[in-house]
């Protein structure tokens, strides 16, 4: 079985889709010769040429909108928005156009476009290159939102995103690009809207996304040594959300921690907490704990950045808080 990094897994899904299907092409800033600012699309221009691996000007509105227009004409474009922070520039096209064409037309058209983007702290880029904005898009009817945390998930979910007939915002985490795992020779598509249980447990469910899945797994290991059995569930697709999987896990463990890198207030964890409390209210033995960034923009100085964003110990502390409630 080949071993792929998260970065290579994303690239593998893109190149397989382009190899199989003339309708798929990718566009974005610096994605051709440079291979993208994160190196995800490295080498693709050599195989597929500049027409299908299309460098764009620094024009997020136009590149997002052009991808939408191509999708409405039957293509399956994948537009790379270099940093999540720049989704703010493309937001009009994603939110008002991509998400609504099908609806406003009364179902006459589909918009099978995928917006790939990445973000995440841990390397001191400061306030405008590492935000986690996934919750903004979860709020928009008509969009799907995906956030994989492993190479296997990234590959299988990106494939499904490309072949979904709806616009998908696909979030990658910068600090995960280097993680590796063995993946199958065959690409197995992972249906959108299916959570993954990374670890079974009895005492607490940690529902985590992105980098925090790995932090939660580290926390779970430490907790285990203390005699606390932790289940770790990654929704993987934030919209639509696999509510049943989350609720049934919490019904088993009776305690819940939600964890993501984005700021806690108004974060995706707030939605998860609402879903879980409503679906598993009678099973909960403690309030749902939320883990996320402190309420500030991302600072530059490493010591401050490290202080703001959550780590395994923050998840562990939340686990301690919830199990200490009687």
- Tell whether residue 296 is a contact of other proteins (CB under 8 A): no
Least distance in Å: CB of 226 to other proteins? 44
Do 87 and 128 form a contact (C-beta atoms < 8 A)? no
Nearer to other proteins among residue 41 and residue 97 (C-beta): 97
Least distance in Å: CB of 100 to other proteins? 8
Please tell me the chain's helix, strand, coil percentages from 3-state DSSP, rounded to the nearest 5: 40, 20, 40
- Tell whether residue 110 is a contact of other proteins (CB under 8 A): yes
Q: Collapsing DSSP states into helix, strand and coil, what is residue 53?
A: strand
Least distance in Å: CB of 110 to other proteins? 4
Do 177 and 210 form a contact (C-beta atoms < 8 A)? no
Stretch touching other proteins by CB under 8 A, among 33-41, 53-61, 147-155, 172-180: 53-61
- Where in 130-189 is the site for other proteins (CB under 8 A)? 141-142, 144, 165-166
- Tell whether residue 192 is a contact of other proteins (CB under 8 A): no
Nearest residue to 246 (alpha-carbon basis) of 261, 231, 260: 231
- Tell whether residue 69 is a contact of other proteins (CB under 8 A): yes
Instruction: Tell me how far apart the alpha carbons of residues 92 and 51 are, in angstroms, rounded to a whole number.
Output: 26
Instruction: Tell me how far apart the alpha carbons of residues 86 and 30 are, in angstroms, rounded to a whole number.
Output: 14
Q: Which residues are the active-site residues?
A: 60, 129
Partnered with residue 199 across adjacent β-strands are 232
Least distance in Å: CB of 90 to other proteins? 10
Q: Find all residues with CB under 8 Å of 252, minimum gap 6, and list them.
A: 202, 205, 231
Nearer to other proteins among residue 108 and residue 326 (C-beta): 108
Q: 39: which DSSP letter?
A: S
Tell me which of 7, 101, 198, 255 binds other proteins, using CB under 8 A: 101
Q: Collapsing DSSP states into helix, strand and coil, what is residue 321?
A: helix
Least distance in Å: CB of 245 to other proteins? 20
Nearest residue to 210 (alpha-carbon basis) of 118, 306, 319, 85: 118
Do 150 and 108 form a contact (C-beta atoms < 8 A)? no
- Tell whether residue 104 is a contact of other proteins (CB under 8 A): yes
Stretch touching other proteins by CB under 8 A, among 107-115, 151-159, 295-303, 307-315: 107-115
- Tell whether residue 62 is a contact of other proteins (CB under 8 A): yes
Q: 49: which DSSP letter?
A: -
- Tell whether residue 94 is a contact of other proteins (CB under 8 A): no
Instruction: Tell me how far apart the alpha carbons of residues 250 and 283 are, in angstroms, rounded to a whole number.
Output: 7
Residue 311 burial by Cβ neighbours in a 10 Å radius (0-12, 13-18, 19+): middle
- Tell whether residue 237 is a contact of other proteins (CB under 8 A): no
Nearer to other proteins among residue 192 and residue 291 (C-beta): 192
- Where in 253-292 is the site for other proteins (CB under 8 A)? none
Q: How many helices (H) and strands (E) in the chain?
A: 12, 14
Tell me which of 7, 11, 102, 155 binds other proteins, using CB under 8 A: 102
Tell me which of 53, 68, 130, 176 binds other proteins, using CB under 8 A: 68
Count of residues near other proteins by CB under 8 A:
41
- Tell whether residue 214 is a contact of other proteins (CB under 8 A): no
What does the binding site for other proteins look like in residue numbers (CB under 8 A)? 25, 51, 56-57, 59, 61-75, 77, 92-93, 96-97, 101-110, 112, 141-142, 144, 165-166
């Amino acid at each position: 079985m080949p071993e792929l990094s998260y970065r290579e897994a994303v690239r593998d899904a893109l190149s397989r889709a382009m190899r199989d299907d003339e309708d798929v092409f990718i566009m974005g800033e610096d994605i051709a010769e440079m291979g993208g600012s994160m190196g995800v699309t490295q080498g693709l221009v050599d195989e597929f040429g500049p027409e299908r691996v299309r460098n764009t000007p620094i024009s997020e509105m136009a590149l997002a909108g052009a991808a939408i227009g191509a999708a409405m004409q039957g293509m399956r474009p994948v537009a790379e928005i270099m940093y999540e922070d720049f989704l703010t520039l493309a937001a009009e096209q994603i939110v008002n156009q991509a998400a609504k064409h099908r609806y406003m037309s009364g179902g006459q058209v589909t918009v099978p476009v995928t917006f790939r983007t990445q973000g995440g702290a841990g390397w001191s880029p400061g306030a405008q290159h590492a935000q986690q904005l996934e919750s903004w898009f979860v709020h928009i009817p008509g969009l799907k939102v995906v956030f994989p945390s492993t190479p296997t998930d990234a590959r299988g979910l990106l494939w499904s995103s490309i072949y979904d007939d709806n616009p998908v915002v696909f979030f990658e985490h910068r600090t995960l690009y280097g993680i590796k795992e063995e993946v199958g020779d065959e690409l197995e598509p992972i249906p959108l809207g299916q959570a993954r249980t990374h670890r079974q447990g009895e005492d607490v469910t940690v529902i985590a996304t992105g980098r925090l899945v790995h932090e939660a797994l580290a926390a779970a290991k430490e907790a285990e040594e203390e005699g606390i059995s932790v289940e770790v569930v990654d929704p993987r697709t934030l919209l639509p959300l696999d509510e049943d999987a989350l609720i049934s896990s919490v019904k088993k463990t009776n305690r819940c921690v939600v964890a993501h890198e984005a700021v806690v207030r108004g974060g995706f964890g707030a939605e998860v907490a609402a879903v879980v409390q409503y679906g598993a209210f009678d099973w909960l033995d403690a309030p749902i704990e939320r883990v996320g960034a402190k309420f500030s923009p991302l600072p530059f100085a490493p010591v401050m950045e490290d202080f703001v964003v959550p780590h395994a110990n923050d998840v562990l502390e939340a686990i301690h808080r919830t199990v200490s409630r009687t």
